[in-house]
Structure 1
Amino acid sequence: MSTAIPLALLFAGLIVYASLFPFSDWSWPSHLGWQEILRLPMPPWRDHFDMVANGLGYAPLGVLIYLAGVRSHLRWPLAWILAVGSASALSYVMEVTQQFLPGRFPSLLDWQLNTAGAVAGASLGGALQALRLIDRWQATRERWFWRRSRGALVLLPLWPVGLLFPVPLPLGLGPSWSRMQDQLVDWLLDVPWAQGLLEWVSDIPVPQDRLPEPVEALGTALGLLVPCLLAYSITRPGWRRVVAGLCLAGLGLATTTLSAALNFGPVHALSWVTPGVVPALQLGGALALLALPAPQRLAAALGMVALALQLVIVVQAPSDPYFAMSLQAWEQGRFIRFHGLAKWVGWLWPLATLVWLGLRVASSERMPPLARR
């Protein structure tokens, strides 16, 4: 099965989340009949940011569905129609469903922009096929990665998405107890039969003291090491792992800088680079370098150990004032829909990665020797 299929399903799920967030206060629009509910109105206002976001948001979905279609042996016209039609239908369903969410407004313009984005994405997929870049990617994947690498190839692009949400410490994905407690209290607050559990959760003390600097440094180092070990678990030893590690390190640093710029403004984009972060990144890079020769299953096992240790550190990290301020900026700004998506990616990525690494350790299949070309 092509990696484009799970990626397309995942991206469609992300679109549903962003379109229907916060999934609360559903109500039936009693003033509207069925025809009015199914008919999308043209909005009286224009927001350039939303217009660009709606135009670009469905383009990746169009590309992924097109690629999934052609990799499933559909002819290119059918794959193109499938990509545009399914993406446009998803957009229409999301716009109609927004009729039942107070504070969300269905828009004919949004549906048109989403469909245009899907057309652009599907057409880009057709151009990639015409240039034979899809076949080249498949050949490159066979030379670089283990045959059953789909899960890791989905998880690795999601890692920087989780980093866009403010994290308790640099590169430290996973929920801190303070944030997890707030989420659990929010869920249990209006559940009558769960009030005992609510009291128990509320009574658990929240970490207040800052973690010792060596522990923070170790958490940051492990945050850099874990995605490298995940990549090593599917990549052939040698220079390919060096390239993968360098690309992941650059992507992680760039994403963390972008997150700081979004939270505090471009002037403070490098505010996360404190004196303690630099040696922590050096430690993470040195550990990733030492792990280069490790066999794939050993790399997966080391990744599980490193990830479990990182989760223990992140859970104990307190929320400092700057962290709380950055969360407020996300939750009250124009990124309110994206902030929830990035938060859940950051919280669930370590758990999904632990499961995948465990399956990789349990697998006895080895990567076949590289054929000479």
Structure 2
Amino acid sequence: MPHKTSAWPLSLVYVGLVVYASLYPFADWRDQGPLPWGFLVAPWPHYWTAFDLLSNVLGYAPLGFLLALGALRTGQGSRAVLLATVAGGALSLLMETLQGYLSSRVPSNIDFLLNLGGAWLGAVTSTLLEKLGAIDRWIRFRGRWFVPESRGALVLLALWPFALLFPAAVPLGLGQVFERVEAGLAELLLDTPFLEWLPLRAVELQPLVPGAEMACVLLGALIPCLLGFSVIPSLGRRAGFVLAVLLAAMGATLLSATLSYGPVHAWAWFSQPVQAGLVLAVALALLLLRVPARVCAALLLLVLGLYLVLINQAPASPYFAHNLQIWEQGRFIRFHGLAQWLGWLWPYAVLLYVLVRVWGLSSLDRAAPKIRE
């Protein structure tokens, strides 16, 4: 059974990233007149920096790379560079045009050309790697490691370390949305008779006790392991994947703490409950190495439910927003709140994916009927 390429879903995710970054903060829209694309014939900007040039090129290069890779994997190799460049240029043109309606953004012809060049550069890089055999080596690697129907899990696993970059109240604490949803509903229903229908909590959320924090860390580390087990049939490769999850969890959390709170507090999150949770997660994952893939998916549903209940009983840190504002490097991972949205939504995306796999895709068992030694 051939593997479906992960380039297409990853490119869609990246398009969402570009749209979010280009149109943030999505407020103060205005009408600039009959020619929203007039920036194309405007004079060159007088003020620019090397960072502006580099960021515009590098911002669209991954998009061109993914689009060209998707075209190469679907038999359109002769047109891969052209299709990726045109698609990237069309997206850039749309974003620059829409920026003309935002009071806080300025459309620029040089930005458009740099974005177009970035998409072309990424597409050319993809085709060069294909000619050098790197894409074929990745295909063989993926064939050895993963079952054919694995692209959804691979996309979610690739996004997991980035979701950890936005600091949470509990390390590895993704999906903590209860307080924000509650506040958002209250604001939405304000001055309406439906506000009385909103249930109120009797007491405020309290910080988690060490045992509950340890459980959240344990489950938070176990979730990507089980997700990987659902698409990795080999026993040995599952064990290596557990080690990769542990390193990714510690590396992303360490980077997040360093950039958000400063190098002095880089290891402040690594408390005894966190250490115990990580050790127990690794031990439990190793005990589950021989469990069939479909059983791992079912266990993942159970673990996700328990995890989301626990993590949403923890209050948001009152020091978090203040620290991000005063620590300049924290803006690197904030990225207009996009990393925070990713941290909020990632567990629910996994939940939706696993439900589809368990209920709608019987090919999971056919592709990996048993664990290979």
Q: TM-score, normalised by structure 1?
A: 0.88
> In the TM superposition, what whole-angstrom CA distance separates every residue of 1:71-115 from its partner, at most 9, and x where no partner exists?
111133x10111112112211211111111121121233223322
Question: How many Å separate the matches in 1 of 2:116 and 2:110?
Answer: 10
For the aligned residue pairs, the C-alpha RMSD in angstroms reads 2.8
Residue 364 of structure 1 is matched in structure 2 by 362
Residue 307 of structure 2 is matched in structure 1 by 310
| Conserved? CA contact 2:10–2:66, under 8 Å | yes
Query: Please, which runs of 5 or more residues in structure 1 have no aligned partner?
Result: none
| Conserved? CA contact 1:176–1:318, under 8 Å | no
> In the TM superposition, what whole-angstrom CA distance separates every residue of 1:259-287 from its partner, at most 9, and x where no partner exists?
11221123332222123211111111111
Residue 118 of structure 1 is matched in structure 2 by 119
Residue 13 of structure 1 is matched in structure 2 by 16
| Conserved? CA contact 1:167–1:173, under 8 Å | yes
Residue 235 of structure 2 is matched in structure 1 by 238
Counterparts in 2 of 1:324 and 1:274: CA distance versus 1, 3 Å: farther
- Counting aligned pairs with the same residue, the percent is 46
Equivalent residue letter for 2:64: G
Deviation at 1:247, TM superposition (A): 1.3
Query: Please, which runs of 5 or more residues in structure 2 have no aligned partner?
Result: none
| Helix, strand or coil at the partner of 1:321 | coil
Deviation at 1:34, TM superposition (A): 4.5
Question: How many Å separate the matches in 2 of 1:38 and 1:325?
Answer: 40
Question: How many Å separate the matches in 2 of 1:54 and 1:253?
Answer: 31
Counterparts in 2 of 1:238 and 1:180: CA distance versus 1, 3 Å: same
Deviation at 1:121, TM superposition (A): 1.1
| Helix, strand or coil at the partner of 1:54 | helix
Counterparts in 2 of 1:322 and 1:49: CA distance versus 1, 3 Å: farther
> In the TM superposition, what whole-angstrom CA distance separates every residue of 1:207-250 from its partner, at most 9, and x where no partner exists?
44211110111001111000010000000131111121211221
Question: How many Å separate the matches in 2 of 1:62 and 1:284?
Answer: 38
| Helix, strand or coil at the partner of 1:294 | coil
Residue 71 of structure 2 is matched in structure 1 by 69
Equivalent residue letter for 1:62: G
| Conserved? CA contact 1:40–1:95, under 8 Å | no
Question: How many Å separate the matches in 1 of 2:197 and 2:255?
Answer: 38
Counterparts of 1:51-66 in structure 2, within 5 Å, are: 51-66=53-68
Equivalent residue letter for 2:255: L
| Helix, strand or coil at the partner of 2:319 | helix
Question: How many Å separate the matches in 2 of 1:48 and 1:72?
Answer: 37
Q: Single out whichever of 209-218 and 225-234 deviates more from structure 2.
A: 209-218
Structure 1 residue 88 and structure 2 residue 89: aligned? yes
Counterparts in 2 of 1:358 and 1:369: CA distance versus 1, 3 Å: closer
Question: How many Å separate the matches in 2 of 1:98 and 1:8?
Answer: 22
Structure 1 residue 23 and structure 2 residue 26: aligned? yes
| Conserved? CA contact 1:174–1:347, under 8 Å | yes
Question: How many Å separate the matches in 2 of 1:233 and 1:74?
Answer: 31
Counterparts in 2 of 1:35 and 1:8: CA distance versus 1, 3 Å: closer
Question: How many Å separate the matches in 2 of 1:17 and 1:197?
Answer: 32
Residue 214 of structure 1 is matched in structure 2 by 211
| Conserved? CA contact 1:178–1:206, under 8 Å | no
Residue 129 of structure 1 is matched in structure 2 by 130
Counterparts in 2 of 1:321 and 1:146: CA distance versus 1, 3 Å: same
| Conserved? CA contact 1:235–1:241, under 8 Å | yes
Residue 249 of structure 2 is matched in structure 1 by 252
Structure 1 residue 292 and structure 2 residue 289: aligned? yes
Equivalent residue letter for 2:127: G
Counterparts in 2 of 1:277 and 1:332: CA distance versus 1, 3 Å: closer
Q: Single out whichever of 79-88 and 218-227 deviates more from structure 2.
A: 79-88
Counterparts of 1:127-166 in structure 2, within 5 Å, are: 127-166=128-167
Deviation at 1:334, TM superposition (A): 4.5
| Structure 2 residue corresponding to 1:276, chosen from 273, 276, 301 | 273
Question: How many Å separate the matches in 2 of 1:281 and 1:265?
Answer: 23
Counterparts in 2 of 1:34 and 1:356: CA distance versus 1, 3 Å: closer
Question: How many Å separate the matches in 2 of 1:301 and 1:327?
Answer: 38
> In the TM superposition, what whole-angstrom CA distance separates every residue of 1:169-190 from its partner, at most 9, and x where no partner exists?
100110242233344455x27x
Q: TM-score, normalised by structure 2?
A: 0.88
Counterparts in 2 of 1:36 and 1:245: CA distance versus 1, 3 Å: same
